[in-house]
Structure 1
Amino acid sequence: MKIQKLTVENRPKVYALLQRAFPGSDYEAGLVQKLHEKGKPIHEWVCIHVGKVIAYIAFTNAYHGSVICGLHLAPMAVAPDFQGKGVGSELLRFALRQEAIKTQPLFVLGEPAYYTRFGFEPCILPVCPFDRNNTHFLGMRNTTIASFVVGYEPEFTAVPLPPAPQGKKRRGR
């Protein structure tokens, strides 16, 4: 198993992985494809096993108005046949050690029981526009004391958001 930065050649494999990891949803694959097409800044890595992309993680800019205030972890995906085997955890730990990530305030919309294992904490501020009451919105290195709605790249709202699953591990958004 090898973790590396995403290459242009592996982008179609990532889109296919996102389709398999989130069956019945075109949101994640469409989101990442739109981010790529529009040339948005994105930090992304893949996990390769026997020449196949088996996991993917991405970080995009978080905004306070027009000012970058950190990064959003979204999406993160693991191929169904590799889920529950620690691949996602290994990829996330790797990403959190990378120069572009390790000092930034980070935000994730996900399952608290999963993400708190990596140092994320419940977030009261800023407010997540996709999570009523910030129930699943978490931060790391978040020192925000001002009340504002955190911004995402416009591509996050360009496609319909799926309803939040209950009692299940959430993908980062």
Structure 2
Amino acid sequence: MKIQTVTLETRPKVYALLHRTFPGSDYEAGLVEKLHGNGRALHEWVCIHTNKVIAYIAFSNAYHGNEVCGLHLAPMAVAPDFQRQGVGSELLRFALRQEAIKNQPLFVLGEPGYYSRFGFEPCSMPLCPFDTDNAHFLGMRNSSTDSFVVGYEPEFKPPATPPRPQGKKRRAR
């Protein structure tokens, strides 16, 4: 297994991995495609095994107003046939040692039981706009005491919820 930065050549493989890892959802692959297409600053790596992308991790800017206040870890994906084999853990540990990451405040919206193994802790400030009670919002090297809602790149907007179908209306007689 080899870990390397994402290149123009590996991008399509990343999108395919995200589709496989999140079946029934185009959000994650679409998010990364939009981040790439809009030239957003990303720190991202892939795990390659037998010439296939089997895992992916990305960090994008986190904002306090217009100021960068750290990085968001999202998304992270491991191919279904390589899950529960330590691939994701190895990729995350690798990323956390990289110069661009190792001294930054980090945020992740994810499973506390998993991410706490790497040093992420519950985060009461800042507030996450995607987690109403911050139950799954974690931080590392976060010293924020200001009350604010952390900003994401605009591409992170959640997919629009389709309108609920309205039943047939009955006429009053």
Match of 1:171 in 2: none
Structure-2 residue corresponding to 1:164: none
Superposition map of 1:6-155 within 5 A: 6-155=6-155
What are the superposed Cα offsets for residues 70-129 of structure 1, whole Å, 9 maximum, x if unpaired? Answer: 000000000000000000000000000000000000000000000000000000000000
| Residue aligned with 2:35, SS | helix
Give the secondary structure class of the aligned counterpart of 1:126.
coil
- CA distance in structure 2 between the partners assigned to 1:132 and 1:112 by the alignment: 15
SS at match of 1:116: helix
Give the letter for the 1:145 counterpart.
Answer: T
Gap change, CA 1:160 and 1:56, over 3 Å in 2: farther
Shift of 1:158: 6.0
Mark the runs of 5 or more structure 2 residues left unpaired by the alignment: 162-173
1:160 and 1:129 map into 2 onto residues whose CA distance is 15
Residue 46 of structure 1 aligns to a residue whose secondary structure is: strand
- Secondary structure of 1:48's match? strand
In 1, distance between residues paired with 2:33 and 2:144?
31
Q: Which amino acid aligns with 2:117?
A: R
Other-structure match for 2:157: 157
Structure 1 residue ranges without an equivalent (≥5): 162-173
When normalised by structure 1's length, the TM-score is 0.92
Indicate the structure (1 or 2) with the bigger Cα radius of gyration: 2
- Structure 2 partner of 1:165: none
Contact between 1:106 and 1:142, CA under 8 Å: does it hold in 2? yes
Quote the sequence identity (%): 76
Aligned residue type for 1:36:
H
Q: 1-side partners of 2:24 and 2:137: how far apart?
A: 24
Deviation at 1:159, TM superposition (A): 3.2
Write out per-residue CA displacement over residues 27-61 of structure 1, whole angstroms, 9 at most, x where no aligned residue: 00000000000000000000000000000000000
How many pairs align?
161
Q: Is the 8 A contact 1:27 1:160 kept in 2?
A: no
